[in-house]
Structure 1
């Protein structure tokens, strides 16, 4: 067996009326007309992108510049919106060099390339002067509230028009983006706080002047950044990422807020690089399954060059530690205090009984007689009802001299599991201990051979830390000896005819001796994670067996044909596997809903929601 094989298992607001000042609403430029996009993003996909466009001032300078890199970047975002799942773009200020009418008009024309892409823009010190109470400016007439009003993400602006917020959907949840002026007044701080108070969502704060970095990329709060940190960021736990421009070189730091949780602060600016930054774009690729944000930086304009010069080639993509890196965030844990992930409601048994269901067991009040409180022992003789109506009820029993805490009721469950309950097994070796749930002597499932196919599903979780020796513990099986069924090709005649087990390396092993021949086709998974729920499905179409883990097909499925299961008419069991018709150790961990269907199901028909 190749014990080096491993694969990380992937899984797992309220709206506000925009507040506009009368002056800004009357003078702001209208939003540009829509242009066709290259496909729309999927707000449910756990992998999505928020794009960041830093200072473009040297490209929008009436003294002599070229707006084409900006247009190329925006066209790229529109074109790749669907394929890169770009849900939003945020700009970091200093749109122009002098903030004049002519430069703002050039910026307006450049941003027409964004089409229907939702985005935010904020003012930098080269666009405006003073704080956000400055009144009317060419910037406000160009990038005031009316520009964003028709965007589906737009939530509103401060009365002065210089600060705005957007609610963005990605990964099946909502995110708040605050776009704050380069100098936030006391009124601006109060407005931002009201937005945070009324939108308890994971928040990305964007502004122009936040942190500056040393040459090695180590960043520090600027004077303005310190004010924002003290008055707005550190006391609002929902702000987990803050982005600024203004300074170069780029860099990053992580600070701890008043709730004791990390806040990631980044400075992103490439105006000092070739061609005024060449429309450099940064991708923040959120991956909620891997619990990371992968960051990359590149110039779409330079990527499009058919024959780039050596200097252009050098700047197509930036790969230094401050330009390409990964931020690790356990999103569920980080946001649990204010925006816990939605957990699907329990599903009734009737919702998960497809045609040809043989047995369905669950351990909440619907399925387990006298279901107790979390941690309460499950007394021997407790019946877990077969909710399929086929009479394959299970009865609990303790093995050897195991104490009552060897089998307990638990409120823990996989988020996608129909029942919000499970059983906690405390099996182990030396001395052997454990607990099992067995069907009665005459249960129909005991003697079924499933020659037309089958799907066996269960949910399980291994403890963290995973203590002790639990190699080859059983999850589920049929009792009896393979040798008594005329099967002698396997590891031992004493093993059962069908079982799902966990090896010493925490690999799943599923073995089922087929009906017509003496063979032992076996499937092996990767190493299971500890401390996390896993869904397992074994599917046989009447010829071959395929194992799925968390809805994904594994690679090491049996090449041998295997029709049916050579059962001996003996009980089906959850919680252990026999050898020579004797139980040694029992399962160690949690087991949830378990279902057997007498045909092959598709992954979209599994119990896993």
Structure 2
């Protein structure tokens, strides 16, 4: 927290103004002396304040390749390092907790936002340095100077802060990348989720030379996503809506907005906490957050904010809590400790959307896996394999061009299971077009865009030729059916019960009397009105209709779907994950009747012949059928 007039950024009428004024007029303090503990668990005096490094049970447990990791953020701790009023126990407990959680929560890094101490005296800084030693060699971290640690800008020269938290402290850290010539600005590179991430730790008043240094770091590491940390960045009112301070505006104009790789900027200094989203020069979001709890009980009690990155869900989950209270039994906590054990309002507990592939595309575009030729994905157990690029269609498709009726999609196993395009219900050219869209792990970088629908029925199908072996194959020893598909975003219209693929032929004609209707196809993969996948099977052996149901498929995203039957029962997999509702009843083979295997619709037959209603709505990529139960490591998505 600042004691200069520059700290009073909020309007004088704001509710946060009066509380911040309480810190004005801070005076230089005498050297700290030992003090007794104020609460159970506190450290009684300087001689016991140095927390010994706490090693997790397995220091190597941190997984740099896991798509889930955490960054811990600690703001202003100045009231815990304040002359003879110092009590580093809350901070020491937080560091012990982070060491313990290094592997359990996959904590990649910890960053302090400045105002480590109240007056920046040699004694206060020394005590803080001893406390921070608990992290050395356990959890990588960065520290930056706040206005209570140092004064003026980063050209101030030598200080107790620089002697303790300067570059020499981090020289042995695996993440330390370097510091500005003055030593007050630094950067770290840590590895998480299989990539490197950059943290800039910027002095509370960076000079023009410091800004030039920071730009040089970004230029040198131009492909790394970056988090900028500093002390004075933004302020907020009680509504939690943040706005840049004058120093924050300078950082925005001179550094942040023009460097697309900075996707997040974190500051302390002011309270209450708040957040906002700004748009940089590349048109992308930059998340700006204020984190400061020094006004809370026990000076914030060493509270941390944990940013939990989940790159499977493309989400950052944020929570704020005080390990010093969290790790105690309830009867050992002071009553006021319950107020800060965990903060759950909208500025302290929230989630952020972060699609790294999309957000980082401007400076670190994802290199997609290369196309794989058909010979790489056809196996001895492959019955049929179709794809919709030049290899599968015999000529290079043009993105967006209509797919002509009569076009042949060749079976690339050469087993004779070629497919022929046919439009339904006199549908127009636009119901089936070529597309360059594809699943990132699909062998072919092409697909077909279907625009089927109802009222009136429209669509297109690809049907196996009359003598195709796949039309009659019974698959008694098991099978795997794989397809890549994507649903449009927005998902417009009613497409309930549209078919993805099917074997034509009436279930009743196969002697099946169980199931929903004897008129439905002997085997089909469909989508319900709630976008649940439905795999309906009439087995060759059993008089039954075991049916699998998935969860609702999100729109605007590619999925690999696999139906795997081991000769006994079937399991549907989506993106390499088994769905929940797979039937336990036996299912031996498929009751095929020699009717065409079909992509793009599911029909029915009331005894007067096969009829189709609506066609599929979305994209379909590579399709492969095997006469064996494949392991997920053998799916088309595997490289």
Query: Could you say which residue in structure 2 is the equivalent of 1:10?
Result: none
**Partner secondary structure for residue 72 of structure 2:** strand
- Give the 5 Å matches for 1:185-224: 185-200=207-222, 201-224=224-247
Instruction: Report the counterpart of residue 178 of structure 1 in structure 2.
Output: 200
Per-residue CA deviation, residues 202-255 of structure 1 (Å, 9 max, x unaligned), is: 321100111122233333322222221222222323322111112222222233
The one of 619, 624, 639 aligned to 1:595? 624
Displacement of 1:542 after TM fit? 1.8
Partner of 1:566: 591
In the aligned structure 2, how far is the partner of 1:86 from the partner of 1:294? 13
Q: Match of 1:117?
A: 139
Assess if the C-alpha contact under 8 Å between 1:39 and 1:79 holds in 2.
no
Q: 5 Å matches for 1:466-481?
A: 466-481=491-506
The Cα of 1:70 is off from its aligned counterpart by: 1.6
1:120-139 matches, cutoff 5 A: 120-139=142-161
Q: Which residue of 1 aligns with 2:181?
A: 159
8 Å contact kept, 2:54–2:100: no
Aligned to 2:38: none
CA distance in 2, matches of 1:390, 1:157: 64
Q: Deviations over 1:11-50 (max 9, x none)?
A: xxxxxxxxxxxxxxxxxxxxx9995555433333332211
Asked if structure 1 preserves the Cα contact closer than 8 Å seen for 2:54 and 2:134, the reply is no
Q: 1:413 Cα deviation (Å)?
A: 0.6
Matches within 5 A, 1:102-501: 102-114=123-135, 115-200=137-222, 201-306=224-329, 307-501=332-526
- Asked if structure 2 preserves the Cα contact closer than 8 Å seen for 1:38 and 1:80, the reply is no
Deviates more, 1:535-544 or 1:394-403: 394-403
Could you tell me how far apart the structure 2 residues matched to 1:388 and 1:256 are? 50
Q: Give the Cα–Cα distance (whole angstroms) in 1 for the partners of residues 276 and 402 of structure 2.
A: 48
Return 376-385 or 592-601, whichever deviates more: 376-385
* Separation (CA, whole Å) in 1 of partners of 2:54 and 2:583: 53
Structure 1 distance, partners of 2:601, 2:241, is 54
**What secondary structure does 1:77 align onto?**
helix
- The match for 2:67 is 46
Specify whether residues 150 and 606 from structure 1 end up closer, same or farther in structure 2 by C-alpha distance, changes over 3 A only.
farther
Check conservation: 1:458, 1:594, Cα contact below 8 A: yes
Q: CA deviation at 1:79?
A: 1.2
Deviates more, 1:119-128 or 1:92-101: 92-101
Name the residue aligned to 1:24. Answer: none
- Given that 2:59 and 2:138 are in contact with CA atoms closer than 8 Å, whether structure 1 keeps it comes out as no
Measured after TM superposition, the shift of residue 423 of structure 1 is: 0.9
- Residues 574/184 of structure 1: CA separation in 2 closer, same or farther (3 Å cut): same
Q: Is the 8 A contact 2:54 2:99 kept in 1?
A: no
The structural deviation recorded for 1:439 is: 2.0
Q: Look up the SS of the partner of 2:505 in the other structure.
A: coil
Map of 1:496-515 to 2, 5 A cutoff?
496-515=521-540
| Match of residue 521 from structure 1 | 546
Gaps of 5+ in 1: 1-31
Question: How many matched pairs?
Answer: 578
Unmatched 5+ residue regions in structure 2?
Answer: 1-51
Relative to 1, partners in 2 of residues 1:348 and 1:120: Cα closer, same or farther, differing over 3 Å? farther
| Offset, 1:316 | 1.5
3-state SS in 2 of match to 1:366 = helix
Residue in 2 that maps onto 1:583: 612
CA shift at 1:174, angstroms?
A: 3.2
Q: Which one scores higher on RCO, CA 8 angstroms, separation ≥ 6? A: 1
| TM-fit CA distance, 1:389 | 4.1
Call closer, same or farther: CA 1:361–1:34 in 2, change over 3 Å: farther
Give the aligned partner of residue 571 of structure 2: 546
Contact (CA 8 Å) 1:52, 1:281: kept in 2 or not? Answer: yes
What's the TM-score once normalised by structure 2's chain length?
Answer: 0.85
The match for 1:94 is 115
Q: Which moved more, 1:278-287 or 1:522-531?
A: 522-531
In the alignment, is residue 65 of structure 1 matched against residue 90 of structure 2?
Answer: no
**Over aligned residue pairs, what C-alpha RMSD do you find?**
2.2
CA shift, 1:164, in A, is: 1.3
Query: In the alignment, does 2:96 pair up with 1:75?
Result: yes
Residue 521 of structure 2 aligns to a residue whose secondary structure is coil
Q: Distance in 1 between matches of 2:627 and 2:160?
A: 70
1:54, distance to aligned residue in structure 2 (A) = 1.1
Q: Are the equivalent residues in 2 in contact too, given 1:417–1:593 (CA < 8 A)?
A: yes
Structure 1: distance between partners of 2:294 and 2:414: 70
Q: Name the CA distance, whole Å, in 1 between partners of 2:367 and 2:194.
A: 9
Query: Greater CA deviation, 96-105 or 116-125?
Result: 96-105
More displaced stretch, 270-279 vs 383-392: 383-392
In structure 1, distance between residues paired with 2:87 and 2:366: 45
CA contact (8 A) 1:369 1:382 kept: no
